[in-house]
Homo-oligomer: A and B are copies of this chain.
Amino acid sequence: MEVRQNKPFALGIDLGGTKIAVGLCRGEQIEKKIVTPTPANSGPEAVINAMIKAAREAMTGIESSEVAGVGVGAAGQIDPKTGEVIYAPNLYWNHVPLAEKLKAGLSLPVKVVNDVRAATIAEYRYGSGRGLSDFVNIFVGTGIGSGFVLNGKLLDGATNSAGEIGHICLETDGPPCGCGKKGCFEVFSSGRGMERYVMTQLVHGVKSSINDIVEGDPRKVTGKVIGMAAREGDELALATLRRAGMYLGLAIANVHTMLNPQRIALGGGVMALREFIMPSLIEAMEKHILPVALRDNIVVMAACEEDAAVIGSAALFCATHPGR
């Protein structure tokens, strides 16, 4: 066991724009889990209070002396030294001293990381990256993020922005991205990117059963709707998912050509539609990877699923986690 014997537990908190998930973890086991909505519209204090309340609930019946610390995986840009959330667009946060506030409220050590890095730690320690030295975890959700474990260590980068794979440029004159640039990976393959693509097609009069599902209102298009339509064999939905897979395959090929990792794991909500995504992903990957470097099982599905950020942020309090 890597946790200190007198402190067998650690709390892991997944702080998202819609929900807060707190897990009382013992290694990769979640002993108790509390999920509560994120009161994002009520400001940072309300969110932090909700986190503290849920954390206390998760620790009911446990001595706080048995808890090594509180790890938080937050969707945003984090200062890893201070635990400040520098910028978190889906929480409307700017420069919130999250670690400091949680520490004051819970009287426990607190560490904060980006949620995708937390999930990467979980995958690396307990999931599809276990035992590997070079491992890439790509999270395909509303946006696209990633974590790189290279030479056995999670990569932070010079300014702590390693892993922003969603914004590599795959088409120099591609469609505009929310970041202000053009042709970013996530324009093609993220949930939001697919929704926008479908909306544009509908507005331009492309026939699709999606139109019926959203009752003629393109603004109601979601990833779920695209999945429903794909299952009904709708051509626009299928083409959108093929396109997402094609660019996923291209991005994976380029990562592989550069870094030759042992494995690349795919997670996130969009991968629930993998039956429609994988064929074009594999085809594109095989098209773009150097033939000599092509191997079986380069790409796998992430193993830790929705609890990855909880387990991974709790693992920040294991002595041997790959980020330190």
**Cβ-based interface call for A96 (8 A):** no
Query: Interface 1/0s, chain A 126-163, versus B by CB < 8 A?
Result: 00000000100000000000101011110111111111
- When all copies of this chain in the complex are counted, the total is 2
Could you write out 6 A-B pairs with CB less than 8 Å apart? A158-B263, A159-B293, A161-B290, A161-B293, A168-B257, A169-B250
Residues of A143-190 at the interface with B, using a CB-CB cut-off of 8 Å, are 146, 148, 150-153, 155-165, 167-172, 179-181
* Bound CA–CA A257/B250 (angstroms): 16
Q: Which among A77, A253, A258 has the greatest number of chain B C-beta atoms within 10 A?
A: A258
Query: B162 contacts A260, CB within 8 Å?
Result: yes
* Among B151, B164, B254, B287, contact of A293 (Cβ-Cβ < 8 Å): B164
Which A residues contact B (CB, under 8 angstroms)?
A: 77, 134, 146, 148, 150-153, 155-165, 167-172, 179-181, 250, 253-255, 257-263, 287-288, 290-293, 295
Query: B257 contacts A167, CB within 8 Å?
Result: yes
CB closest residue in chain B, given A261: B158
Query: B179 contacts A155, CB within 8 Å?
Result: no
Query: B290 contacts A258, CB within 8 Å?
Result: no
Secondary structure of the A contact surface, majority rule: loop
Query: A158 contacts B179, CB within 8 Å?
Result: no
Chain B residues within 8 Å of A181, by CB: 287-288, 290
Nearest CB in chain B: distance from A184 CB, A:
9
Chain B residues within 8 Å of A262, by CB: 158
Chain B residues within 8 Å of A253, by CB: 168-169
CB closest residue in chain B, given A165: B258
* Among B77, B157, B287, contact of A261 (Cβ-Cβ < 8 Å): B157
Indicate whether A148 sits within 8 Å of B254 (C-beta atoms), given known contacts A161-B293, A167-B290, A181-B288.
no
Known: A170-B172, A258-B258. 5 other contacts (CB 8 A): A134-B155, A150-B155, A151-B155, A159-B293, A179-B290
